[in-house]
């Protein structure tokens, strides 16, 4: 089975972390919560979830993972200024491994300069950022472009998870 890095930052969207995390684990995959500081406790923006970072981005390497999942909420905005988080994201995208991002998750892809010439979707407020970074934005539940899988919002989670699982 696959080993999957899931980025996490304070204020992540609770369901966008929990649902893919549980679905991936139920399918037999290992999911590692990667954040800025190992051992830090982070909270979902809805107040329903509390998680502990299992591995610091500084020690994470693309070759140690088969895929990456970026939940949305405020988390991506908090972690996209961390050089190690950006490096890990860039390395996983450029390696051709599956990278999923939902809602505000593409903010981290933008910071990693991984969207130019690609077609993605996101939460509507990220649309202009994606276009300005060279992506084509579409309003669809799931968009797959080479190794990128993107979705818009919590209502798209089933389709998002199905697309990720089909690729692993």
pLDDT score recorded for residue 123? 97
pLDDT band at 52, cuts 50/70/90?
very high
161 in catalytic set: no
Q: Of 144, 72, 140, 64, which Cα lies nearest the Cα of 101?
A: 72
Domain ranges of the chain: 3-167
Contact criterion met (CB below 8 Å) for 115 and 130: yes
21: which residues sit within 8 A by CB, 6+ positions away?
A: 6, 31
- Measured in whole angstroms, how far is the alpha carbon of residue 137 from the centre of its chain? 17
Per-residue pLDDT, averaged over 37-48, amounts to 97
Average pLDDT taken over every residue of the chain: 97
> Would you say domain 3-167 falls under CATH 3.40.50.880?
yes
Please enumerate in sequence order all residues whose Cβ is within 8 A of that of 166, keeping only pairs 6 or more positions apart, or say none: none
Bridge partners of residue 134, in order along the sequence: none
Q: Which of 69, 103, 120, 148 is catalytic?
A: 103
């Amino acid at each position: 089975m696959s080993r999957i890095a899931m980025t996490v930052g304070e204020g992540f969207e609770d369901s966008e972390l929990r649902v893919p995390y549980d679905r991936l684990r139920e399918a037999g995959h290992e999911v590692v919560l990667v954040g800025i500081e190992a051992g830090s406790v982070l909270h979902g923006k809805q107040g329903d979830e509390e998680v502990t970072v299992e591995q610091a981005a500084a020690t994470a390497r693309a070759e140690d993972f088969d895929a990456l999942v970026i939940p949305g909420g405020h988390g991506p905005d908090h972690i996209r200024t961390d050089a190690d988080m950006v490096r890990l994201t860039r390395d996983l995208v450029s390696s051709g491994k599956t990278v999923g991002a939902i809602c505000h998750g593409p903010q981290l892809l933008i910071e990693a300069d991984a969207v130019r010439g690609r077609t993605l979707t996101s939460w509507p407020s990220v649309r202009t950022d994606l276009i300005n970074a060279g992506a084509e934005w579409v309003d669809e539940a799931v968009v797959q472009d080479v190794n990128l899988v993107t979705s818009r919002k919590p209502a798209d989670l089933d389709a998002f998870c199905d697309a990720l699982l089909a690729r692993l």
